[in-house]
């Protein structure tokens, strides 16, 4: 049964799940600021369903079962109306089972693209077919990369994304090395000294946050950046800053969104963000922007459907749901948001957008 949208003080209660520890914790300050900005903007307008929105932040950096247990306890009060967040797919799957369709769950992180998601989970993040896979093929076409090495964290999203890359290649043997390491891995020497790495033209990095920054520093120290490029779907400006500009040479990132201050929308969003927090606030990055978009998408969902009840949302999805969000009209194929992918090249601690890739 869906959670009732009535709460004692007439507010809409939203749980935001963002990691505050582990390799993903690097994004927490940016995400907190972006979420608060979205909430302020919604509340200055008409709120959600005519009610003020209020958020509770959940630490998504803990083991999935702990996060899911807290979410389940909060849902059991009957006063939680929606869940949003940026966190690992391992946490998502545990939370989705705990939620069991009692509230809509808007997942803003890139994911593995499996089709067994539970009802009520809306996938706002990037599918491998629209992000990682086309980025690999773009680099093959433009830079002549023919052989790849893959390193990822050892959980479902990296493993399934690696499978998608392998399946897309005409010759599966084009992946000459594939390794998976625990979240929070401190030493990548087993990968960096593996003889098969010498056969690769490029490296696909399927890790999270601080792990990507740590890998890039160790990778750059080997001198390999001069002959092997790297690409990742999981790095934002915080990751570039953590690694340092010298570690980001020939590092490419695929994403559905880069906050480009050269565009009118990008300048406007940055202006509003800086007006709210000042010049020395945590950077508004592609990851934190995903949480901002998720909260605004929740508002658009309520306006369009007229409800936050999961059965009504599922019916709207079946009938071609279209949502007007800050980044434009959002449409869905099933529960997956349809969006374009872009490829950017790191320039020190910023991104230079190269091309639209899907």
What digits encode the pLDDT tens for the residues 240-269?
999 999 999 999 999 988 877 555 677 788
Residue 340 tokens, joined: 């374009």
pTM of the entire predicted model:
0.92
Instruction: Locate 232 and state its tokens.
Output: 């990742």
Residue 1: is its pLDDT beyond 50? no
Q: Assign 341 a pLDDT band (cuts: 50, 70, 90).
A: confident
Q: What mean pLDDT is predicted for residues 158-165?
A: 96
Q: Residue 167, Cβ neighbours under 10 Å: how many?
A: 10
Mean pLDDT of 24-36: 95
Which has the higher per-residue pLDDT, 172 or 47? 47
Cα torsion at 307, 310, 313, 319 (round to 10°)?
A: -140
Nearest Cα to 235, choosing from 358, 105, 355, 135?
A: 135
Q: For residue 42, report the phi and psi dihedrals to the nearest 5 degrees.
A: -65, -45
Residue-level pLDDT at 9: 64
C-alpha torsion angle, residues 334, 337, 338, 340 (rounded to 10): -160
Average of per-residue pLDDT values in the chain: 93
Place of tokens 């120290």: 221
Q: Is the pLDDT of residue 100 over 60?
A: yes
Neighbours of 277 (CB within 10 A): 15
pLDDT, tens digit, 9 for 90 and up, residues 73-91: 999 999 999 999 999 999 9
Give yes or no for residue 8 having a pLDDT over 80. no
Asked if residue 323 lies in contact with residue 329, where contact means CB atoms within 8 angstroms, the answer is: yes
% of the chain surpassing 90 pLDDT: 85
């Amino acid at each position: 049964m869906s959670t009732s949208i009535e709460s004692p003080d007439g507010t809409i209660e939203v749980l935001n799940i963002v990691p505050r520890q582990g390799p993903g914790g690097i994004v927490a300050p940016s995400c907190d600021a972006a979420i608060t900005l979205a909430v302020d903007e919604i509340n200055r307008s008409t709120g959600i369903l005519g009610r003020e929105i209020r958020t509770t932040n959940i630490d998504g950096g803990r083991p999935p079962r702990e996060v899911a247990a807290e979410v389940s306890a909060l849902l059991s009060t009957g006063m939680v109306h929606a869940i949003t967040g940026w966190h690992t797919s391992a946490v998502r799957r545990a939370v989705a089972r705990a939620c069991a369709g009692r509230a809509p769950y808007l997942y803003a992180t890139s994911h593995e693209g499996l089709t067994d998601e539970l009802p009520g989970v809306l996938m706002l993040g990037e599918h491998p077919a629209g992000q990682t896979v086309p980025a690999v093929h773009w680099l093959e076409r433009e830079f002549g990369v023919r052989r790849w090495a893959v390193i990822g964290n050892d959980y479902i999203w990296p493993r399934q994304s690696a499978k998608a890359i392998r399946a897309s290649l005409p010759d599966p043997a084009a992946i000459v090395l594939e390794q998976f390491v625990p979240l929070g891995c401190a030493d990548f020497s087993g990968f960096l000294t593996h003889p098969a790495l010498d056969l690769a033209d490029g490296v696909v990095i399927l890790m999270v946050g601080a792990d990507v920054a740590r890998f890039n520093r160790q990778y750059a120290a080997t001198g390999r950046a001069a002959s092997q490029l790297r690409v990742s779907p999981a790095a934002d400006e915080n990751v570039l800053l953590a690694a340092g500009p010298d570690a980001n040479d020939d590092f490419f990132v695929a994403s559905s969104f880069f906050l480009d201050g050269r565009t009118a929308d990008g300048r406007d969003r940055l202006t509003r963000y800086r007006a709210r927090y000042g010049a020395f606030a945590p950077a508004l990055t592609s990851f934190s922007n995903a949480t901002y978009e998720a909260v605004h998408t929740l508002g658009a969902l309520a306006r369009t459907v007229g409800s936050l009840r999961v059965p009504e949302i599922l019916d709207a999805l079946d009938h071609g749901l279209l949502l007007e969000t800050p980044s434009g009209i959002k449409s869905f194929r099933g529960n997956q948001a349809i969006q374009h992918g872009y490829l950017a090249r790191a320039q020190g601690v910023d991104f230079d957008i190269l091309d639209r890739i899907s």
